[in-house]
Amino acid sequence: MLTEYFLPPKIIMGNHSLDRVGDEARKYGSRVMLVCGQRAMRESGTLQKCQSLLESKDLEVILFDQVKGEPDLDLVREGLTLAREEKVEVVIGLGGGSAIDVAKAVAGLFYLEGEVEEYHDGRKIEGPGIAFMAIPTTAGTGAEVTNNSVLTNQKTSLKQSIRSPLWYARCVIVDPTLTLSIPPAVTAATGADALVQAIEAYSSSRAQPITDALAARAIQLLGANLARVYKNGQNLKARKDMLVGSVLAGMALSNAGLGAIHALAHPIGVQLDLPHGLVCGILLPSVMEHNLECAQEKYAQIAGLLGVDIVGSSPWEAAQLAIQKVKAVLKEVEIPEDFRGFDRRALNYPEIISYALSSNSLKYNPRKMEAEDLKEILDEVM
């Protein structure tokens, strides 16, 4: 069997690497669209800083600061119209996964004919777009190093990806100082997402030695530092390790795929209107328990990667210790054990199960999951 690996061509990593944004963007043109959310980047001063760094290199900045919550197709259409009207040459996503995914889709669809919906429904991406750069400000989705844009069709509530090997960022700027201002709840949810992604990529049926190397280091870094950054957001060393961990997890998942947690998390997140990372964190222990039989070896290794003493334990015992450790980490960052504290009136089991069964992520789950298995997991957490 042949395997292919894709990674973005350039990653600039380190404290204050944001200073390089102007020089990098200039390589692709002089008209830059900066995509970000409505508040956080402005409140932290990151938006103004990024904008002035770009302007100091004589670049024209077109601001699209309309990203709010999880992005939908209307938002991409709006960004695309503005980018085309303004004859933008490079799009930069600055923020969490949502801002980065909107920027990725706007750049990727720039020259393509047809509606955003058609591509969301699976129409092939026929050619390259304009240059796209990504600057993550959370340690979470890894969207900066993946080739997909996760978007919701607001008419059908369907949340899925537009994906293309042509959609990798030309340059990713990974600056840990930008993550210092993330509030604790967002730190916990985004960090839980990264940890889940690392674990799902590591135990995926598509995992390969190269993705294992990336995911294993991600699990070590994320497991050791999640509670640290939650308790002290100003710990720059821990913030850096979390950000590196989330980038590694993104690289791993982009090539190895994910699993049942992500298959379930998308429809649950839409129905209950909860942040993606929080949903992933709540689902993690229960899905690991269901996978245990088929993922024993990998889970035993995960226990070791999470720093659990597994000397003398059988693989089965070590795998169970991994689940205990994951629960302990999630408890430390106050991710709830189930969804019972949230408004669940919009919950629709058949829709969740049918979405999950048809999702790409479920194909790579270490254990083959049927509707019955998914229902059991839902019963445990709902």
Binders of Fe ion in range 111-150 (CB under 5 A): none
Residue 83's CB is within 10 A of a number of other CB atoms, namely 25
Q: How far is the CB of 278 from Fe ion (least distance, A)?
A: 11
**Which range in 13-21, 45-53, 187-195, 242-250 contacts Fe ion by CB under 5 A?**
187-195
**Which range in 20-28, 53-61, 101-109, 192-200 contacts Fe ion by CB under 5 A?**
192-200
Contact between 212 and Fe ion by CB under 5 A: the answer reads no
Binders of Fe ion in range 265-284 (CB under 5 A): none
Q: How far is the CB of 143 from Fe ion (least distance, A)?
A: 9
Residues 284-323, one symbol each (x = binds Fe ion by CB under 5 A, - = not), give: ----------------------------------------
The residue (of 193 and 241) whose beta carbon lies closer to Fe ion is 193
Q: How far is the CB of 190 from Fe ion (least distance, A)?
A: 9
The residue (of 144 and 193) whose beta carbon lies closer to Fe ion is 193
Contact between 24 and Fe ion by CB under 5 A: the answer reads no
**Which range in 11-19, 191-199, 324-332, 355-363 contacts Fe ion by CB under 5 A?**
191-199
3-state secondary structure the chain: CCCCCCCCCCEEECCCHHHHHHHHHHCCCCEEEEEEECCHHHHCCHHHHHHHHHHCCCCEEEEEEEECCCCEHHHHHHHHHHHHHCCCCEEEEEECHHHHHHHHHHHHHCCCCCCHHHHHCCCCCCCCCCEEEEEECCCCCCHHHCCEEEEEECCCCEEEEEECHHHCCCEEEECHHHHCCCCHHHHHHHHHHHHHHHHHHHHCCCCCHHHHHHHHHHHHHHHHHHHHHHHCCCCHHHHHHHHHHHHHHHHHHHHHCCCHHHHHHHHHHHHHCCCHHHHHHHHHHHHHHHHHHHCHHHHHHHHHHCCCCCCCCCHHHHHHHHHHHHHHHHHHCCCCCCCCCCCCCCCCHHHHHHHHHHCHHHHCCCCCCCHHHHHHHHHHHC
Q: How far is the CB of 289 from Fe ion (least distance, A)?
A: 20
**Which range in 75-83, 103-111, 190-198, 369-377 contacts Fe ion by CB under 5 A?**
190-198
Q: How far is the CB of 280 from Fe ion (least distance, A)?
A: 5
The residue (of 101 and 193) whose beta carbon lies closer to Fe ion is 193
Q: Which residue of 101, 193, 200, 373 would you call a contact of Fe ion, by CB under 5 A?
A: 193
Contact between 200 and Fe ion by CB under 5 A: the answer reads no
The residue (of 129 and 366) whose beta carbon lies closer to Fe ion is 366
Q: How far is the CB of 98 from Fe ion (least distance, A)?
A: 12
Q: How far is the CB of 287 from Fe ion (least distance, A)?
A: 13
CB 277 within 8 Å of CB 189: yes
- Separation of alpha carbons 365 and 291, rounded Å: 8
Q: How far is the CB of 261 from Fe ion (least distance, A)?
A: 8
C-alpha distances (whole Å) from 378 to each of 204, 220, 259, 320 are: 21, 28, 15, 21
Contact between 101 and Fe ion by CB under 5 A: the answer reads no
**Which range in 40-48, 119-127, 193-201, 360-368 contacts Fe ion by CB under 5 A?**
193-201
The residue (of 163 and 170) whose beta carbon lies closer to Fe ion is 163
Phi, psi of 245 (to 5 degrees): -60, -40
What lies within 8 Å, CB to CB, of 2 at 6+ separation is none
The residue (of 254 and 296) whose beta carbon lies closer to Fe ion is 254
* Positions that interact with Fe ion (CB under 5 A): 193
